[in-house]
A and B are shown apart, each in its own frame.
Chain A
């Protein structure tokens, strides 16, 4: 490493900061006014690159490139307006969690639409006409286009700033960020304002995506990576602050650039490769900012949106009918190895369903009664799975011991991350849990010597007699049933009341002597621990694991299971997980467009059955009972 190399990396960092800024600014703007975290914003960026590449190669020349970039931004802006009018308008008053899931569903649908339109191959864009050369900076060559990118972001920032200060539209947007209902009472049509803001945000994302075309190919994977990066930027910079987005984008891009620039360093005899920290670096920055200044560097403390919150019916202990029904289901499941002797696949699916049930129930434990919407629950599943697998790989631990290591590993992770998480609420908590899951993912992905990296850990097989599927199924059933019953007991004990009291009114709960943070921290740890058991079973059921177990996809699957069953009841996640696991098993093999289907299911759920399958069933039952 030398200073010139470091400085060159720093300049290069500015170029990548600009792409990040465009997405983050739009995301932040939309959140500020509509209070919706638009996960599909990453898709708009991705569409931007695809559309720009298509236009540039169809038309060709400077007109195709520069005209294409401009046309792309407008097209994506129009797509954004349509999304707002068709979908988001219906969910402004829905709970935060539903909004997050609905926009995630949109991401899935758009991703499959892009797959259908452009195919699975990455598309390379042309280089920018007029900016093909390079500039000499610090003795190295820097593409002129990168220099252009470094300049364009502050220019756009200034234009936005002027719009927001000088125009009436800008003033109304700033007013709406503070109190949109009051603005309505002053005669401003919020719907039009919201659509306009959404279109502007989408325009910026499309522009950002289009401008990246000479640097990176259009690829189906960019939507998720870009949205995760942009979230981090927005959270660090402060929700709703565009200047904050720029500052944060620069800080994060610089921290990453420095990690690459520093490279291999010998620290006390151990050589540390800093370039491996790039994936974690941004999340570390975010975690530090969230704990030290939860509203972000330039953000304001989040004002609760005014509105009437729907009251949730309290959780009740099981009625006698339900208890009998539950025991009957258990008995049938226990007999399943004998009933399904002719089709061993039933048991394989059975184990999958059981794992899903424990995963979803533990997530519901903190989400429903705890009110903490974790978007990174797969972290604890993965910690459990890796805890068990690594115990086998490195210590040749017998299965019993390895299965015990699973919850221990998960519990340690949950205690550590939970301590940070319970200090936040709402979308910030959701984002922090997501960030922690990403940190775990990247550690496991990058620490190849210990974890096997992307190959994962292979050859984790159960000891006899559990190597026989029926016996393993019964073991899983026993563990899952024990976990579910344990969590039910906790929720219906005073500790569970304290959890719910802390969820419904933290202030009042503290006033009657409940240490809300501590209760929620412990609850987080319990959920993580139980989830770790599910991960342990998973490792032995599959015989091999990979970082996939910790992916955002897996976390979101958990959310869909919980939502499918409904948040309001204890049996919800069990039903939701079972339906989801079986559905996934059957449908996934049938279609190439599983993501779009999953997205469609989520959208239908959010729009039509907001209380989930069990909630919907109870409502119909109540109507039927009434004469």
Chain B
């Protein structure tokens, strides 16, 4: 029997108050795989990530992390099982310095389901991955540019030594140079065996880093396929991405 996928989501429904926002969302992200959740604004990409992370109070369906059911757990329990989450609005602790932000995300070392050790991150290894941050280590998070904050939020999540990472719109509103750096980072994480779920509106960015894509519209998955298939399918692009 093959190893369970890093992340498997089955029949996920979710609500904001009384309004249902996700309908029967089902997808998987394999080990060492980068999967893009795509769709327009309001399609349900961020909501899916929040629901997976346990941040939506009302949700139904099954979410598995390395085969283990985490559906009913609280966000901190989910994080402690190896799920990392970087929110769209980054949510850096603005009064804490870069180093203190990293420390807030620190968790013990972790292993993959097959017993091999997962990548172990320290501030020093992360500064090698994001050299810009190294120079800002004592700068309060509130006094950083958007791109620097984006790098910090990814670094802070990696401090938890996650097996699966949910990256919500990492390229949004950021200078092209830094977008490139983040793309490199994602490729590096993939190489080291992490499962990455990426939400993107930027088709070009998703094209560079992802293996497969799921297309969301109105809280439902409308299409699934490889990036090559998506590149060839102008109908899907037109129907679900372009304005």
Give me the interface of A with B, judged by CB distance under 8 Å.
168, 171-172, 174-175, 177-179, 181-190, 300, 308, 310-311
Contact = CB atoms under 8 A, between A and B. Distances in A.
A306 B184 CA distance: 33
Contacts of A171: 96, 100, 103-104
20 contacts: A171-B100, A172-B104, A174-B96, A174-B100, A178-B94, A178-B96, A182-B87, A184-B75, A184-B76, A185-B76, A185-B79, A185-B85, A186-B79, A186-B104, A186-B160, A187-B80, A187-B105, A189-B76, A308-B57, A311-B17
B98 interface: no
Contacts of A308: 16-17, 57
B229 interface: no
Interface in B64-110: 74-76, 79-80, 85, 87, 91, 93-96, 100-101, 103-107
Interface size, B (range): 20 to 34
Contacts of B95: 174, 177-178, 300
B46 interface: no
Contacts of B103: 168, 171
Given A171-B103, A185-B87, A188-B104, 16 more contacts: A168-B103, A174-B93, A174-B95, A175-B93, A175-B100, A175-B101, A178-B96, A185-B55, A185-B76, A186-B76, A186-B104, A186-B105, A190-B76, A308-B57, A310-B17, A311-B18
Interface string B131-143: 0000000000000
Q: Which 9 A-B pairs have the closest CB atoms?
A: A187-B79, A182-B91, A184-B75, A175-B93, A184-B76, A186-B105, A175-B104, A185-B75, A187-B80
A172 B95 CA distance: 12
Interface in B31-70: 53, 55, 57
Nearest to B99: A171
B138 to A, nearest CB: 12
Nearest to B82: A187
B22 to A, nearest CB: 15
A186 B157 contact: yes
B212 interface: no
A183 B104 contact: yes
Contacts of A179: 91, 93
A185 B75 CA distance: 5
Contacts of A183: 104
A186 B96 contact: no
B112 to A, nearest CB: 18
A310 to B, nearest CB: 8
Contacts of B100: 171, 174-175
B233 to A, nearest CB: 34
A178 B80 CA distance: 21
